[in-house]
Structure formats: C-alpha cells, structure tokens
Structure 1
Amino acid sequence: MKITVIGAGAMGCVFGGHLQEGGNVVTMIDIWEEHVKALNEKGLSLKGASGDRVIPISAQTDTTGMSEQDLVIVLVKASVTQKALESAKNIIGPETIVLTVQNGIGNAENIAEVIDVEKIIVGTTANASELTKPGEVIHHGQGETVIGKYEGKLTDRDKKIAEEFKNCKLEAKAVDNIMSIVWSKLILNTAVNGLSGVLQVPLGKLYEWPETREFMRDIITETEKVANAKGIEILHDDPYEKVFTICRDKAPGHYASMAQDVYWQRKTEIDVINGTIVEEGKANGIETPANTAIVRMVKGVEKGYLKGKKSDY
C-alpha cells in the first residue's frame, strides 16, 4: 500500500515505522524541518517495546509532488487538522481512506469539512511513545489500535486496514461501536493528559500523590456523567480502576502526550480533550469544575511560551 502519515510525531513514527517495515511505501509529512531532515538522512530510530532498530523512511514537509495514496493517517494536532487536510488534497483520490487516530473528540468532524465522509475512519490506540529528538522515537508500550467507520458501516476495504496493521506487527481490530471506544479512551486522556502536562511528571506520580489521584477521580466522574448524558456507553466496568491501573502498573514511567507538548513548547490538545467535556457539560446541564480547572491551567502554561509561535504538526 501507498501510505502517508500526516504528523510525524511520536505516534506517527510508531505507525509509519511499522507499516514501512511491513512492506508498505510510507511517506512521513511534518513541518519540523530538522526532524524531516533526520528521517531522510539517518532513518527513523525506533527504540523500546518493539525492539531497537533504524528504519529507512521517506519524509517531506508537505505533499508537493506526491501521487494519490491508498491510506492517509492523520496524527497532527487537532488545531491544525483542517489546514493539514486542505494542503494534502492532492494525495486523496477516489479510493483513498483517511484514518484519524488523533486524541480527543471532533477530529473526524473537522476532516469531514474537507473530504467526503465515506472516506473517513476513526481510530484510537493504546500504544505509548515519545519523540526524544529529531529522528528518534521511544516506543514505551505496545497496545491495540481500534478503528471504525465515522459514518455508516465498515466496508471490506476498511477492515483490510486493520488487517494490514496486524501484518505489520501493530495489534489492531475493526469494530462497529467505535465512538464508545473513543469515549472510553477519552476518560483516560481527560484524567492524565493535562495533569501530566502542567506538572511535567509521568503517570505513576499522578497516582502516587494523593492530591493528583483525587483530582483524576473528579475528572473521571465528570467525564462519565457527560458521556452518560450523551447516551454513550463507557466500556470500562470501573473507569477509576482502569485509569489507576494504567498509571500505577502499566505505564508509570510514561509522560502523557501533553507533557511532551509542553516540554517542546507546542500548542496542546486541551480543547479537544478536557475542553470537550467542559463544552458538552454546559450543553447538557452538567457542572465540570475539575475539567474546567485543568483547562485553565494548561492554557495558562501555553500562554507562557506560545506567544508569537505558529501552530505546528
């Protein structure tokens, strides 16, 4: 398959690297010129859970000169989703599938402003990764990627995407109830992402410290109430223990993606994670003081470093 990954961050490199190794022709797109140069000249250094190796891979700062692709994977920051898709229209043909595996809620809706909805599939992943320097990514933990149709029923072509992921040693499956799965992951993201970002600590500390553990509990309670109000089934029997188990046992040393954003002084995705809960709470008459507080804190941190900076992938 001809595959383009738009957004060559930590997760984009995990997907792109595995898919390239599996025999696909992968191109990474990112506006970070130093990173693109490193990928082209030295290859992708992928270390950690899936082994240590260097994967030769092609990278560009945009899609100029490229042909239509079989699959486009979108992993840019939510704030630049539409802009990124608009600039990549030349690689999206009649048979192209567009998969968003971005954090938060509302990304598929933004993509649907640019391309036909029948092309869009939505995904969520339990892989954990970290971009440590240009061209180098640590794959902290392997996990399942789940995909489903944004609108309508899964087609055979959609299901083949999950099969290709599995062929490339990326655990994956295609499902019909994708939004329940997306919201079930959103509970984790709302609980840990903002706190890890503001405090610049790994997930284990968020559980270890009583104050942050209780803060996470409040965020989870609010998020679950909003999901219930929207008629969305949360698939965790005990969402608190699900989050705490990840923080305490499965990934205590992992820094959430928002912690990495703050470290690299990038715009975060707080608006489509906790910000979504705040807005949906208002729409459904549910108070969300914990989510509101973390949104305000993250935005305050952002203002300390974003002034005058352009948004990036």
Structure 2
Amino acid sequence: MKVAIAGSGALGCGFGYLLQKNGNAVTLMDYWEDHIQSIRENGLTISINGEVDNAKMTIGKPEEIEDKFDVIFVFTKSMGLRSMMEAIKHTIKEDTQIVCLLNGLGHAQTLSEYVSQKNIIMGTTVWTAGIDAPGVTHFMGQGPVELQNADPSQEEAARKVEALLSEAGLNGVYSEDVHFTIWRKACVNGTMNALCALLDGTIKEVFESSQIDFLLNHIVSEFAQLARTEGVELDVEETIVYLKALALKVGSHYPSMHQDLANRRLTEIDFLNGTVARESEAKGLEAPYCQMITQLIHAKEDVLGISK
C-alpha cells in the first residue's frame, strides 16, 4: 500500500518506520530541512521501546512529492493542519483515506474542507515519541490506535486502516465511538502535557506531586462538562484512573508540549485547554482551571520568546 506521513516528526517517523518495515511503500513529508537531509543521507535512526535500528526512507517537502497515496496519516501540530492539507492536495486521490491522529479538538471540521467525510478517519494514539537529533528519534508504547470513519457508515475503510496498523505492530483498534476516545485523549494532553510543560517535569514526577489529585479532578471535570454538551459522557473518576494507569506506563517521558517549549516551539494549548475555556465561555459554562493553564502556557511562550 502507498502510504504518506504528512508531518514526519517523532511520532510520524515511528509510524512510518513500522509501516515500511511491514512492506508498505512509505513516503515521509516534512519541512524541517536538517531532518530531511539527515534522513536522506544517513537514513532514519530510531529507537523503539529501547531497540535501535536504522532504515533508508523516502522523505521530502510536500511540494516535492509527486506521488498520490492510498492512505495519508497527518501528524502535524494542530495549528499546522490547514497549511499541510493545502500543501498535500495534489497527492490526494478520490479514494485516498486521510487518517487524523492529532492531539486536540475540532480537526474533523478542518479536514472536511479538503476531503469528503467518507475519506476522513479520526482516531487517537497513546504511543509517545521524541526527536533526539535531526534524523534520530525514539518511539515508545504498546497501546491501541483507535479509529473510526468520520462517516460511521463507512466502517469498511476504517477497518482496512485498522488492519494496516495492526499488521505493522501498531495495534489498530476499530472504535464504535471515536468521539469519546478523542475527548478522553484531549484529557490526557490537557493534563499530562500541560502540567509537565508548566512544572518542567516528567510524567512520573508530575503525577507523584502532592497536588496531582486536586489538579486532575478540576481539569478533567472541566473537560467532561464541555464534552457533555456535545453528547460525550466522560466519567471524571474513571478518566482519572485511566490517566494514572497511563502515567505508570510512560512515566519517564517528557510529553510533546514540554518538548515544544524546550525547543522554543509554539504549543497546541489553544486546541486543548484553550478550546475548553473558549467553548465553555461561549456556552455559559465556567472553566477557570483550563483558562488559567492556557494563559500560563502562553505566558511561558512569551517568556521564552516564542513568536506566533
């Protein structure tokens, strides 16, 4: 199968490597020149759950790619999704499936401006990743990649991508309610990502804090309150149990928002806690913890001199 990875940072490289290893024709697309040149000259060096390998992979900027693909995985930052879709329009066929595993909320609406609902597969992943140097990445996890077509009647398309991922060792799972999964993943990022970024700690360090129960309860409650207005029921206690169990599995990891600030990149906070704060206010609800977290992350971006 011809597969493209649109946004080939750490997570995209991990997916691309495993999909290629399983026999698929994979093309990485990115804009980071040093990363592109390193992979072209030296191959991708990747550590997967501690095992290191090096693989030759095709990579280029979206505008340089002439092929059309059966499946395109988008792994941009949330704020880069629209510009990436503009850049890859020429690589999309009538039946190309666009798989979106991005953090945050509201991405299906953006994708629907470029392809029909039947070609959009939404999902989440709990795999974690990081870039150690241009062309050198690490990839960790064992959890599921949950998927469902944006048009639930198109189950067959999502099932094919589920099989594609599972055969590559990426644990594809068909979801009967991807909206719930996306909201729960947003809670993961609105807690783990945001708190680790603000407190400058690993997930393990932050989740061992004496204040973690208080913080999780308030943040998750605000996510659950807004999700309910969209017909998604998030049980606060159950979600907190899920978060703590996940923290035990990936505790040594610095999540992506922490990595963004460390590398002086803009964060995705506006698509996580920022969305909860903004949409809650629009609906007459209160979300003071998400609002404060959003303001603090933006303040830290300002202190670090990160420009929008």
TM-score of the superposed pair, with normalisation by structure 1: 0.93
Distance in 2, matches of 1:152 and 1:245, equals 30
Give 2:152's aligned residue: 152
Counterpart of 1:10?
10
- Aligned equivalent of 1:258: 257
SS in 2 for 1:96: strand
Distance verdict in 2 for CA 1:192–1:209, change over 3 Å: same
User: Is the 2:196–2:202 Cα contact (8 Å) retained in structure 1?
Assistant: yes
Q: Is 1:299–2:298 an aligned residue pair?
A: yes
Distance 1:51 1:286 in 2: 47
Cα deviation for residue 305 of structure 1 reads 3.8
Aligned residue in 2 for 1:19: 19
CA deviations over 1:81-105 (Å, ceiling 9, x no partner): 1111111111001111101110011
**Partners of 2:40 and 2:57 within 8 A in 1:** yes
Query: Is the Cα contact below 8 Å between 1:47 and 1:138 reproduced in 2?
Result: yes
Structure 1 residue 35 displacement after superposition: 0.5
Note closer, same or farther for the CA distance 1:51–1:71 as it changes in structure 2 (3 Å cut). Answer: same
Distance in 2 (CA, whole Å) between partners of 1:306 and 1:40 is 32
Residue 159 (structure 2) pairs with residue 164 (structure 1): no
Which shifted more, 235-244 or 139-148? 235-244
Q: Single out whichever of 155-164 and 286-295 deviates more from structure 2.
A: 155-164
Q: Return the offset for 1:68.
A: 1.1
SS of 2:243's equivalent? Answer: helix
- Give the SS at the match of 1:23: coil
Report the Cα offset of residue 48 of structure 1: 3.4
Which residue is 1:28 aligned to? 28
Partner of 2:245: 245
Matched ranges for 1:68-107 at <5 A:
68-107=68-107
Deviation by residue 1:166-194 (Cα, 9 ceiling, x = unmatched): 11111111223110111121111111111
CA contact 1:206–1:213 (8 Å) conserved in 2: no
Using the TM superposition, give the Cα deviation of residue 238 of structure 1 relative to its aligned residue in structure 2, in angstroms: 1.4
* Residue correspondences, number: 308
**C-alpha contact 2:266 2:307 (8 A) present in aligned 1:** no
Cα distance in structure 1, aligned partners of 2:240 and 2:166: 30
Q: Partner letter of residue 276 of structure 1? A: T
Distance 1:35 1:235, change over 3 A: farther
Q: Is contact 1:27–1:59 with CA below 8 Å preserved after alignment? A: yes
Deviations 1:118-154 (A, max 9, x none): 2111010011111111111112322210111113323
Q: What amino acid is aligned across from residue 119 of structure 2 in structure 1?
A: K
The answer on whether the counterparts of 1:140 and 1:254 sit within 8 Å (CA) in structure 2 is no
Offset, 1:46? 1.4
What SS does the corresponding residue of 2:64 show, helix, strand or coil? coil
Name segments (4+ residues, structure 1) moved above 4 Å.
306-309
| Comparing 287-296 and 154-163, the one that deviates more | 154-163
Report how far residue 114 of structure 1 moved.
Answer: 2.2
Q: Distance in 2 between matches of 1:25 and 1:63?
A: 19
Q: SS of the residue aligned with 1:224?
A: helix
Distance 1:307 1:190 in 2: 20
Residue 104 of structure 2 aligns to which amino acid in structure 1? G
Give the counterpart letter for 2:25 in structure 1: V
Kindly indicate whether the alpha-carbon contact (under 8 Å) linking 1:97 and 1:120 is maintained by their aligned counterparts in 2. yes
CA drift of 1:113 comes to 1.7
The match for 1:276 is 275
Secondary structure of the residue aligned to 1:39 is helix
Amino-acid identity (%)? 26
